[in-house]
Amino acid sequence: MSTSISAPARDRMDELALGAAWESHTRYPHIDRAIYSFYDETYGRVVVVANNHPYQGGAAIRDAELTRIRGRLDQLGVTELAYRTFPTSGPNVGYSYALLLKAASKARQREIMRIIDEEAHRTLLEAFAE
């Protein structure tokens, strides 16, 4: 994915991603996955993908899902602005994550949502097939 983000903007996006991961973990632990957007002065529409579902089978399952998501988004030319996990330490380190993506339009936002849903569905089907 594109990495042409200035250092100050990257720091700001990292802070926003950490805040989104924290919020997902602490305020909405009962929600497995959330997708929402906000407007940023620098990047325009930013899509946040928050995930509280590390899968019972282990972190490797979610890591594989995230790798597939990133690959598909990269093929579409979607820019990843930041990725952070929460908690950052302790026994539940990395339980929740937030992925911030630049969405040039509402149509692109819908494509992002479709990809996230398809890959989550694929992961669940694979988990139950074993």
Q: Give a three-class secondary structure readout of 70-113.
A: HHHHHHHCCEEEEEEEECCCCCCCCCEEEEEEECCCHHHHHHHH
Instruction: Work out the mean pLDDT of the chain and round it to a whole number.
Output: 88
Contact in structure between 51 and 96 (CB atoms under 8 Å): yes
Is residue 88 within 8 Å of 32, Cβ to Cβ? no
- Residue 104 has a pLDDT of 86
Smallest CA-to-CA distance from 25 within 86, 84, 66, 83 is with 86
CA 51 to chain centre: 7
Q: 48 vs 95, which has greater pLDDT?
A: 48
Reported as a single tens digit per residue, the pLDDT across 12-53 is 999 999 999 999 999 988 888 889 999 999 899 999 999 987
Enumerate the domain spans of the chain.
7-129
Under CATH, which architecture does the 7-129 domain have?
A: 2-Layer Sandwich (3.30)
Q: How confident is the model at residue 2 (pLDDT cuts 50, 70, 90)?
A: very low
